[in-house]
Structure 1
Amino acid sequence: MPGKDKSNISINANPTATLEIEEFKNRMAQHRKDVVMKNKKKK
């Protein structure tokens, strides 16, 4: 798959963007956990 190779190259060429994506994923996961906790407290 040529498209897959291209994306790997761009990730390697721009490691800071990859780190930002990981950080964003972590923040979203944390946000989801917080929302779940709040919803459990309401019940």
Structure 2
Amino acid sequence: MAEIASRAALSPGTVRNYLSAAAATLGAENRHVAARTARERGWL
């Protein structure tokens, strides 16, 4: 998450919260799966 936070100029806590919300929206089982899905789709 630190790399994502650095690239997006956000704090790691903010990224964690955003990824938790995205995971819930995507139906992903956890933040890691949500982050991987976002990277695969070119969102990050």
TM-score, normalised via structure 1 length: 0.40
* Greater Rg over alpha carbons, structure: 1
More helix by share: 1
Q: Point out which structure has higher relative CO (alpha carbons under 8 A, 6+ apart).
A: 2
